[in-house]
Chain A
Amino acid sequence: MIKEIKNNNELKIKHSYSYSIFSFSRKIKSQAEIMGIAIVMVLIMIGIVFVIKFVVLPEKTNTKKAYDQTQLSANFLSTSLKTTTECNGFTMTDLIQDCAANYGKGSYRYRCPDGRDSCSFLNDTMELLLNASLNKMPNVKYDLYICYWDQYNQECGTEEGDIIGEFKKGSCLSGRIEYESQQYPIKTDVGTRVVQMYIC
């Protein structure tokens, strides 16, 4: 009888001990889980902040960079257009005027000593100037058009003969890239043509 009571008491003690251990460990486990979730949340928040900063938000407009690009494109265009070419001493502007007036007709007023017409000489020389200058600058991309300017759509015309020269390095017009633009109008016999440069 005494033995039975003893056993019962031992059982009770054992039960209460295991219950308290169980509840204690459950408490700690739940706290640890909450801590874990909190850490994961913090990490996710940090990740989201980085993603927003570097991917979603557009790059800040750098005034100095914009100034450099404007300066570069303005200098390139003003210089190249007044350059005297090896085609009978015509300037690039002269060649643009002749090319625009006679594009597609095959009767160019200016023929160069090497037999090329004004359009092909213009395009080859412009390519040469770009290769020697802007194409050597690794961080510079551009789109350069010599074309009839559609005032309504604010872009080069899309009909045949509207674009007489097109030069690209990368592309500034595709995507969300910020670019600077520069335009030089040139008076020709068939209306005004523009040399339009987008630089980025």
Chain B
Amino acid sequence: MRNNKAQIKMMETISVLIVFIIIIVFMMIFYINISSSSNNVAKEDETNQKAVELAQKVSFLPEFQCSSKNIVIDNCFDIFKLDSFIYYVNYDSNGQISQNTTYYDMFEYGRVVIGQIYPSTNQTWEIYDNKPPYKRYDEKTSFIPIALYEPNKKETYFGLLNVTIYR
């Protein structure tokens, strides 16, 4: 009888320990999940910041900016300048297709594409694309609304600046 009682007590102690261990394991899983998700958030924030930086650099490049009587218009890209830029980065002085690496130091690994949204056309300008040499990388794309100015017709179109960051 006393033996049985001791066994029951032991069973009780063991079951309490098991429950306690289960609770601790759950808490550890919860903590690991939270810390890993906060790490991911920090990583995503950093990528977002890079995307915003790249978008800012592109927006303020005199190569694309609209201007009127030497006054720069904010957040506006000149369509003629974009066309000329595309030609400049994709062809050499002899008119042969070539890859211009002038902007690699400034933009690093990323892709910048401008698309016209309204009036709707399929017109896009890929002004930069430099993928990293390694095989596995993350990419994060940000969209920024921009104005596209057509100097010939003196019209402004609605466009999107798509900035992709490779990491």
Interface set of A (CB-CB < 8 Å, partner B): 36, 39, 43, 46, 62, 64, 67-68, 71-72, 75-76, 78-80, 82-84, 86, 89, 91, 125, 128-129, 132-133, 136-137
The 7 sampled A-B contact pairs (Cβ below 8 Å) are: A36-B16, A67-B52, A68-B48, A71-B52, A83-B118, A125-B118, A133-B158
Q: Look across to chain A and name the residue whose beta carbon is closest to the beta carbon of B147.
A: A79
- In the complex, whether B36 has a CB less than 8 A from a CB of chain A is no
* Complex contact B145–A128 (CB within 8 A): no
Could you tell me how many residues of chain B have their Cβ less than 8 Å away from some Cβ of chain A? 24
- In the complex, whether B143 has a CB less than 8 A from a CB of chain A is yes
* Complex contact B155–A84 (CB within 8 A): yes
- In the complex, whether B157 has a CB less than 8 A from a CB of chain A is yes
Chain B residues closer than 8 Å to A79, beta-carbon distance: 75, 145-147, 158-159
Chain B residues closer than 8 Å to A39, beta-carbon distance: 20
Which of B20, B49, B117, B144 is close to A72, meaning CB atoms less than 8 Å apart? B144
Chain B residues closer than 8 Å to A86, beta-carbon distance: 119
Chain B, 11-48, CB within 8 A of any chain A CB: 16, 20, 23, 27, 45, 48
Docked complex Cα distance between A82 and B159 (Å): 12
* Complex contact A64–B45 (CB within 8 A): yes
| B127, chain A: closest CB distance, angstroms | 18
* Complex contact A64–B144 (CB within 8 A): no
Instruction: Report B50-90 CB contacts with A as 1/0, cut-off 8 Å.
Output: 00100000000000000000000011000000000000000
Docked complex Cα distance between A65 and B117 (Å): 25
Chain A residues closer than 8 Å to B117, beta-carbon distance: 129, 132-133
Chain A residues closer than 8 Å to B130, beta-carbon distance: none
| A180, chain B: closest CB distance, angstroms | 15
Sort A-B residue pairs by CB-CB distance and give the 3 closest, nearest first: A84-B155, A132-B117, A83-B158
| B82, chain A: closest CB distance, angstroms | 16
Docked complex Cα distance between A36 and B144 (Å): 57
Chain A residues closer than 8 Å to B113, beta-carbon distance: none
Chain A residues closer than 8 Å to B118, beta-carbon distance: 83, 125, 128-129, 132
Docked complex Cα distance between A137 and B142 (Å): 9
| B35, chain A: closest CB distance, angstroms | 13
Chain B, 120-162, CB within 8 A of any chain A CB: 143-147, 155-160
